[in-house]
Every structure is written in C-alpha cells, then in structure tokens.
Amino acid sequence: MSDAVAPPICDAELDARGLNCPLPLLKAKMELNRLDSGAVLKVLATDAGSQRDFRSFARLAGHALLHENVEGGTYTYWLRKA
C-alpha cells in the first residue's frame, strides 16, 4: 500500500507546458475566472519559476493550492477557486 496522497479531482485542466513566466500564471487566472467558486483547476507547467508564482498567487488571491507535484520536468498544481 502506498503512502502517497492522491491528487484532488479537477473540474478543469490547463496545459501551460512550454510557456515561460508569467504566461502559465496569467492563463491560470483567466481559466479560474471562468470557473465557479469552489471549482478545482489542474495546471500543468514546465517553467521552474511557476512554483513560486503559484504559491504566491494562491496565498494573495485567497485561492487554495490543494496539491502540487513535480515529475519529469512537469510541475502540476491543483487550485481551488475562492
């Protein structure tokens, strides 16, 4: 049995791989604006700076960063809209 925590179920997914800062965050903001409060957005990014960006953005905007994962150069974030 694995001790790994399963990532949350998402309502929408944004593939921002290959985009450089600040585009992954800007696209995520636009996608969150389309979602209802409480919805979960999964974001895929390859920009290492996205870790700092998404952590700060979630804290400042009041969204919840539910889970993040790094695997094979892809950073994955699950954000719950405030």
Residues forming the active site:
21
Which residues are within 8 A (CB) of 17 and not within 5 positions of it... i.e. 6 or more apart? 44, 45, 46, 74
Q: Is the peptide bond before 22 cis (omega within 30 degrees of 0)?
A: yes
Q: Residue holding tokens 């804290």?
A: 59
Contact between 79 and 28 (Cβ < 8 Å): yes
